[in-house]
Chain A
Amino acid sequence: MKKYFKLFKEIHLHTGLFISPFLIIFAGSALILNHNFIDWQEDWQEWTFSVDDKVDEEIGFTLPEADLTKIEYAKNILRQAGISGEIANIFGDSVQMYIPVTKPGYRISVKADLVSGTAYIHTERTNFWKKLIWLHKMPGPHNANIRGNWVHTRLWGSAVDFSMICLFISSITGIVLWYYFKKDRIAGIIALLIGLLSFSSLIIGFTVL
């Protein structure tokens, strides 16, 4: 086992360093989400239809082919309007289409007039903290059928998956390394037991009470 010590040490170091920026983003945004430091909660309806009150830009587009799926149809319009980002949802009928788009630092409301072929666009900038929250919540569990329709959301999702795998590897190698340090064993066991006790009492509290 001792001959693997160096290997575990290197794995722990590199996986830990790689995931540290991700962990800081997730930990920082978790604090924001858990408290009311900023008003982070999106009013989806207000955002989606904000273009009804304020139009920053009007761009003409050619109507996409009718046999496209709803999401491909919306993507086609956005491409022509030069807008990139994650389509949060699609609302509308055969006359008009509302497409709320999100990306870190921006929330965009697009109303596509499917009769005249005009896209009305309203763009809002969001602050740094909302960028962190965007990263924390993406791709997330909502609107699963369309989520991940922007290449960067998929890229971020994969990076998060990879960093979570690294987190498990880093923590397991961390435990193995701690096992080697005889001086830290007792205090480590106490820390582990306190953590186990706190964790299990909360879980039991939720399930039994």
Chain B
Amino acid sequence: MKYSRLRNNLIAWNRKIHIYLGLFLLLFIWLFGLSGLLLNHHWEFSNSWVKRKVVSYEKMIKPGKEKDGKNMAREIADKLNLSGNIVNVRYSADSSVLDFILTKPGTRYDLSTKLRTCRVTIKETILDQWAAIKALHTMRNPTQKEMNDRHQPTLAYIWSFSIDVVSVGLIIICLGGWYLWYQAEKKRFYLGLISLTTGVILAAYILMF
């Protein structure tokens, strides 16, 4: 009796979590599903690089306090009111020019700063919405190797955290779905077993090859 009540409670809670978590993550799941398809195929409509718009301009900034390349790049970006991931920070051979790239979904800035004159040349590359969607899929925390020459803004860290939430959420939805299916009547259970086994065999085949 006690076991049966516990089981019913578990089913009810599991069902609620399955539904609400699925609804909460719906847009994130669709975004990652769509962007995954875009990344795996090279459809003409999503060839954003061909359709890019490039604008170049120059700006003057006040001399900064930072001496380290990455921090200096960040300071320059702040002064120009630009935000995004800072990558590829490098000095010219005589250390008079600092180059770096600043990226955010759909936009890329190539910045070249003449440190003596404080003149910044900005090449802004504007990409379409498909490039932005793909960039959201591949945006992640920096690896150990990238730590030293990459700066990531807070928003990108929040996005990386949302990737964790979606990943854990998807695993919970799948495991919860298995439990709900396990409670189904015999006929549905066996038919479901065929669907699950097909998926497992297909995935395991490549994994074990």
> From residue B52, how far is it (CB to closest CB) to chain A in Å?
16
Contact B134 A141 (CB under 8 A): yes
Chain A contacts for B136, CB-based, 8 A: 203, 206
Contact A198 B162 (CB under 8 A): yes
Contact B198 A18 (CB under 8 A): yes
- The secondary-structure label for the interface of chain A is helix
Partner-contacting stretch, out of A20-28, A53-61, A66-74, A117-125: A20-28
**A198-B145 Cα distance, complex, nearest whole Å:** 31
Q: Please report the total number of B residues contacting A with Cβ < 8 Å.
A: 67
Whether B95 is near chain A, meaning CB under 8 Å from some CB there, is: no
Contact A188 B33 (CB under 8 A): no
Instruction: Give B141's nearest chain A residue, CB to CB.
Output: A34
Whether B13 is near chain A, meaning CB under 8 Å from some CB there, is: no
Chain A contacts for B40, CB-based, 8 A: 139-141, 157, 160-161
Whether A7 is near chain B, meaning CB under 8 Å from some CB there, is: no
Known interface pairs A139-B40, A202-B155, A207-B105; A28-B167 also in contact (CB < 8 Å): yes
Chain A contacts for B91, CB-based, 8 A: none
Known interface pairs A23-B170, A36-B144, A131-B207; A202-B199 also in contact (CB < 8 Å): no
**A202-B161 Cα distance, complex, nearest whole Å:** 11
Among B25, B37, B199, B202, the residue within 8 A (CB) of A164 is B37
Contact A207 B106 (CB under 8 A): yes
Contact A192 B23 (CB under 8 A): yes
Which residues of chain A have a CB within 8 Å of any CB of chain B? 10, 13-28, 30-31, 33-36, 39-41, 103-105, 131-132, 135, 139-141, 144, 152, 155-157, 159-161, 163-164, 167-168, 171, 174-175, 178, 181, 184, 187-188, 191-192, 194-196, 198-199, 202-203, 205-207, 209
